[in-house]
Structures are given as C-alpha cells and as structure tokens.
Amino acid sequence: MIKDNASMLIKNKQSDFFKNGETLHINNRLKRLKALKKSVNAHETEISSALKKDLGKPAVEIWLAEIYIVLDELNNVIKNLQFWAKPKRVKGKWLNTPSKDWIVPEPFGVTLHIAPWNYPFQLALNSLIGAVAAGNTVVLKPSEHAPQTAAVIKKIISEVFPETWVAVVQGGPKTAENLLQLRWDYIFFTGGIKVGKLVAKAAAAHLTPITLELGGKNPCIVDQTANIKVSARRIAWGKYMNCGQICMSPDYVLVQKSKSEALITALKSEIVRMYGEDPMKSEDYARLVHEKHATAMVNLLEGQDILYGGKYDVQNRYVAPTIISVNNLDNIIMQDEIFGPILPILIYDNENEIDQIIQHYDKPLSFYVFSERKKWANKLMKKHSYGGGMINDVIVYFTNQRLPFGGVGNSGVGCYHGKYSFNTFTHLKSYVERTTWFDPIQRYAPYGKSFPLLQKILRFFS
C-alpha cells in the first residue's frame, strides 16, 4: 500500500517542529491550553448543534458529558501542569554516593490520536489535552461517523494551534489505515476491540507505545439487599443515556432471583419516567449513530424474550429502550459488547453463579455491584479484574480525574485522565549527577582483596 503523502507531510512537519523545542517550554503549553479552553467556551453553541445533528443527543447530556468534561480536564491540567512537569530529585544509592539522582519528564514526540463517534468531542479532546500538556505534538483523526462534530473540532483546533503542533485529519478507514503505516512516537486509540487489535499490530511494526481504550461486556450485579428503586434508576440512566452507546454502560444485569421481578418492574417505571410512554418523542433520548448500527440492534432482538420496549425505526436510527430476559450465555446478545439500548436480564440463585458468569467473559472495562452488604460488595470488587467500577452506581467514576481510566486485557491497554494523561504521554527519563572528588579505587579492577570488603559494605547498606 502506498503511504498517504498528505499525512506523511503533516507528520514530518510536526517532527521538525518538535525538534525545535517549542513544546518543551511549559509556558508555551499552558498558553495553548488556556487558548483551547477559551475557544471551547466560545464555540459551545456550535459544538452542541453538531452533536445534536450527529447523534441526536439531548442538550443536558451534551453539556455534561461532552463540553463540561473537556473544560474540567483543561482546568485541572492548567492548574497542575507546572508541578507535574517539574523534574523530581530522588534519594541516591550508596554505590553512587555522593550524587544527585533525577527523574525528568519528557514528551515522546509526535503522537497519533484516533477518536470514536460515541462521544466524538470529549474523547477526541481529552487525550489531546494530555498529549499537549506533556509537550507532544498531535495528529488527530476524529470519527467520520460524526462529521458535524469533526468539522467543529477542526475549526477550534485551527484557531488555537499551528498545524505543526496539532493537526486534524479527516477521513474514513482508508485515512486511518494510511496514518497507521507511518512511524509515530505514540498512538492513542479509542474504539472497538477488532480495530484496536489492528492498531496494536501496526504499532508493533515500529515498537510504538500505545494506549487502547476499548470496551467489553460490563456486568451489573444486583443482590437481594439492593435498594431496588435507586438501583433501577441508576442502571436505566447509565444504560440508556446516549442510546446505550457508552463503553462504560452496563452491558447486562445479573440479579438475584428473589429481586428479579421487582427490579424489572422498577426498570420499566424508570424508563417511562425518564423518556415517557413513547421515547421516540422524547427530547432526552438520543439516536443511534447510523442506520447500519440500528439494523445491528434490530437483528440482536430477533427471537429474544422482550420484557419491555423492542420498537424501532431504522431509517430514523431509533431503537427504543429495551429489556430482555436471557437464560443462557449462548444467546447471541451475550457474545459481544452490545453498545446499544438493549439490556439483558440474567437471574442467579446461588452466588457461586456470579463468578462463573463473569469469568466466562474477557475482563470488562467496567464492573458494577448494587448491594447494601458493603463487605460482600467490596470483596467482589477486589476479586475480579476490570478497568474501573462502582458500588451502587454506574459510569460516574469516569468523572474523577484522580482515578486512572482505562481497561485491562481485551478492554484496553493503558490509562488516562488528569495526571494519568500526563503520565501516559510522558517518558520518565532518569539521570545521575556525580562529582569527581570522591572516587574509591576499590571500585575498579584489579579487584584483588578489596572485593570481599566491598561486598560487606554493599550488604550492610542494602
């Protein structure tokens, strides 16, 4: 395959710009990040309009989950960057005494970011913010499935950064494929597992470090002690927000048999309360990204035991909030991440079944437990492996920048948010500063009888 000349030209220009050292100055980074914050605020109406056109998102969800998250990330980075980027002196070892031992954060260089369509503004900018804060340059490819949002992102970025620092490259899979052929200093990808593996393979060809933000089948366990009303409200909110197109949303519910009917009834009530009797008319219910994805959801519903919902209009990218009953893990809907507004309900009787079902799948991105038994819930949280999780709530752990966000195994590689974003895009370089006035001869050959003494000294100070 022939490499895309335009992409290569941008990448080469960024390489030259990075070598000039302008991004190494903290004040230069802060100046651009502050300008980015100003530009996001100035274009808030355009951002909202674009997201509404692309995904039918309600205004409240647009502001909270797209715009506010970006502004909050910017505020946090601007406030803390001077401290994060400062070289740190650490205690030396006896063998090097006297010395000054340093850890110096340095940027990787030219980074590639491939963003998804489900949160096309927030997920594109948040990784970019971390990369710029760490002193890297960025080539960003927003999703072609959110074209209006991609256009606004390009407009904002072009106002704030020269193309030699941050460039937005628009296009589809072919563009992404061409970009991945180039040798980058770091690649950050958010999307599905299948494409994530292709990104990892492309990165491996150049030994390029990567972060993969993927997904998985996120379990939501509801035991017999759970507050059913609150649990149902929070589960329904997390599942049907953005029409289920959230990598952290509950993929399926695993409920204790004695509480199953009560939970299903409460979930139905919450759907009606949030979106009305006809969610298609609700201004608070989003749409699927395109007809192809809507068709995929409809196909998943074929032959299912539908407890609620199930209505659809593929042409209008609409699938109603739906609840289905699932009796076995061979069901087609239990094979892969759903990424849509269909919530399977599985029932367990014995608590040993919980482990069996969860361990049937790869490690999920998110893990949720609803229970009033704190000790039991914490035991589950510590026992299983996942990216991030919550007890008695869903999704909102994502908003705490003090927590690393990322998957494990098939749900992702690496993490970001807040200082973790800075760390992700930073190489920690170490060096030791020595003097020449102290230079014991026992260190050097011929060692002779001095080695036993050196051994004793080193053992003593170890």
Reduce the secondary structure of 46-63 to three states and give it as a string: HHHHHHHHHHCCCHHHHH
Are residue 210 and residue 279 in the same domain, yes or no? no
Are residue 184 and residue 270 in the same domain, yes or no? no
237 pLDDT higher than 70: yes
Which pLDDT score is estimated for 1? 39
Cα dist from 62 to 48, 121, 286, 341, whole Å: 6, 9, 10, 18
The verdict on residue 448 lying in a domain is no
66, 73, 213, 270: which one is catalytic? 213
Are residue 327 and residue 389 in the same domain, yes or no? yes
The verdict on residue 451 lying in a domain is no
452 pLDDT higher than 90: no
The verdict on residue 460 lying in a domain is no
How much of the chain exceeds pLDDT 70, in percent?
A: 99
- Our answer to whether residue 213 is catalytic in this structure is yes
Domain CATH for 104:
3.40.605.10
The verdict on residue 316 lying in a domain is yes
462 pLDDT higher than 80: no
Q: In the structure, what pLDDT confidence band is assigned to residue 15 with cuts at 50, 70 and 90?
A: very high
Mean pLDDT value of segment 171-193? 96
66, 73, 220, 247: which one is catalytic? 247
Cα dist from 289 to 48, 172, 246, 391, 392, whole Å: 16, 15, 12, 30, 29
Q: Going by C-beta distance under 8 Å and a sequence separation of 6 or more, which residues neighbour residue 176? A: 114, 141
Which pLDDT score is estimated for 258? 98
Q: In the structure, what pLDDT confidence band is assigned to residue 231 with cuts at 50, 70 and 90?
A: very high
Are residue 193 and residue 324 in the same domain, yes or no? no
Alpha-carbon Rg of the chain, whole angstroms? 26
Domain CATH for 370:
3.40.309.10
Nearest to 147 by CA among 113, 179, 172: 172
Burial level of 448, CB count in 10 A (0-12/13-18/19+)?
A: exposed
Are residue 165 and residue 246 in the same domain, yes or no? no
Which pLDDT score is estimated for 446? 85
The verdict on residue 454 lying in a domain is no
Q: Is 207 left (phi over 0), alpha (psi -120 to 50) or beta?
A: left
Are residue 198 and residue 127 in the same domain, yes or no? yes
What token pair was written down for 144?
């072609």
Structural domain of 118: 5-214+412-427
d(CA 347, CA 283): 33
DSSP 109-177: SEEEEE--SSSTTHHHHHHHHHHHHTT-EEEEE--TTSHHHHHHHHHHHHHHS-TTTEEE----HHHHH
Q: How far is CA 126 from the centre of its chain?
A: 9
pTM of the model: 0.94
Which pLDDT score is estimated for 93? 85
d(CA 12, CA 414): 26
Are residue 223 and residue 113 in the same domain, yes or no? no
How much of the chain exceeds pLDDT 90, in percent?
A: 91
Mean residue pLDDT across the chain: 96
Which pLDDT score is estimated for 271? 99
Residue at 311: amino acid letter: K
d(CA 405, CA 211): 11
147 pLDDT higher than 70: yes
The verdict on residue 442 lying in a domain is no
SS3 content of the chain, % helix, strand, coil (to 5): 50, 20, 35
Which pLDDT score is estimated for 4? 63
Are residue 418 and residue 384 in the same domain, yes or no? no
Are residue 250 and residue 343 in the same domain, yes or no? yes
Q: How many residues does the chain have?
A: 462
113-136 confidence digits (pLDDT tens):
999 999 999 999 999 999 999 999
Are residue 17 and residue 142 in the same domain, yes or no? yes
What token pair was written down for 426?
């930073």
The verdict on residue 60 lying in a domain is yes
Q: Going by C-beta distance under 8 Å and a sequence separation of 6 or more, which residues neighbour residue 118? A: 55, 242, 245, 246, 247, 289, 339
Are residue 196 and residue 315 in the same domain, yes or no? no
Which pLDDT score is estimated for 3? 52
Are residue 330 and residue 369 in the same domain, yes or no? yes
Residue pair 306/323 in contact by the 8 Å Cβ criterion: yes
The verdict on residue 435 lying in a domain is no
The count of domains in the chain is 2
d(CA 81, CA 255): 44
33-74 confidence digits (pLDDT tens):
999 999 999 999 999 999 999 999 999 999 999 999 999 999
443 pLDDT higher than 90: no
2 pLDDT higher than 50: no
